[in-house]
Chains A and B, each alone.
Chain A
């Protein structure tokens, strides 16, 4: 089971692993951010766009939702970026790929939320003379953003877990650090579990925070509880 020394050393290096959480969060929020910038417009376009637009977008969604993350990471890092001629750091590659993937998932979230908005809302907006754009910004988006928080919560949790996969590109996040420690001191269970636990805690905290926002911004009657 490994000698006691190993465990004591581990205790000393827990802060080291914890520091990796910073990078896990950078990856997560970077990915979520890019995903949001992609996801909301694409989500809207996939509902209101023309036939060919929707087809193209669906292909994008399909590719980035169905290809394993790790394959995408390597594809971009070893394949696409060198071919284009750019030398992109592992960190940027990871954030980009996570972002593209999150964009595909967030598109689905927003699409579902947009479609669930009562058509009557839009008709009423037109009836008082709002233009499409005004309806969009003043009526549609505020409601969509509120309704989408639960789904977004899921996306946050999922993305946070996926950041662990980025260890394969050598980014100094929690799993990489746990692995380094594990190889150094000779025990594996606890270091990896600690990495996992850190992610779980971050996940839980994030969901709680989002939940608070959800309640704060919630308007009675907006959300039809299932």
Chain B
């Protein structure tokens, strides 16, 4: 079947591109999200406010608008990002903003006694955050982070807007050429479902490994 072989080949290319974007956006979102979360709670007023403002902006704007502003908007200022990097940057900004809120909530849920005990031993702020707060935050923020990663995988489908040859762009192209609409989009839906299922399994495994024995 000419359609299928061509479709699948292109789909694979789309999957690779999507995975390339995700493999950079996801780790950076998590890292930046944690950094921002800690900044919001532990640094001075000005930095904390700045972090709050930036994350509020990127949580308030729809992801698609963010992407379009980065790709098309920056072009106004003669800044031309490649589709790949525009999409990646957009996802990192959105993802890290949401994750920073989960991290903030996780830190707040740690009882204040842990902090006091760290101080009582003579730890300074850096040591307290690094050795006592951070390890516990990671465990507590895990459900939220996992949730956000699920969203990121879903919204990665928007990267076609800025010209990335991702899974969805392949689907649209083939949709305009062939009459296999249902097959095309069900296939694509299944791929995303599979990616999300894999991500969920990975996070479940991480969660189990990090549990304290009761």
Contact = CB atoms under 8 A, between A and B. Distances in A.
Q: Do A and B come from one complex?
A: yes
Interface centre among A68, A80, A200 (most CB of B within 10 A): A68
A71 B171 contact: yes
A101 to B, nearest CB: 11
B175 A189 contact: no
Interface stretch (B19-27, B42-50, B137-145, B153-161): B153-161
B185 A75 contact: yes
Interface stretch (A14-22, A43-51, A129-137, A161-169): A161-169
Interface string A185-197: 0011110110110
Chain A binding surface, main DSSP class: helix
Contacts of B72: 182, 188-189, 192
Q: How large is the interface on A (under 10, 10 to 19, 20 to 34, 35 or more residues)?
A: 35 or more
B182 A196 contact: no
A182 B65 CA distance: 13
B154 to A, nearest CB: 4
B68 interface: yes
Contact of B193 (A66, A70, A75, A165): A66
Interface in B41-91: 60-66, 68-69, 72-78
A74 interface: yes
Given A66-B150, A71-B168, A165-B158, A189 B62 contact: no
Given A66-B154, A75-B181, A193-B65, 8 more contacts: A62-B193, A74-B171, A82-B181, A161-B61, A175-B62, A188-B75, A189-B69, A199-B62
Interface of A: 1-2, 62-63, 66-72, 74-75, 78-80, 82-83, 161-162, 164-165, 167, 175, 179, 182, 187-190, 192-193, 195-196, 199-200, 203-204
Q: Which 9 A-B pairs have the closest CB atoms?
A: A189-B73, A188-B72, A75-B185, A79-B182, A161-B62, A68-B157, A196-B65, A200-B60, A79-B181
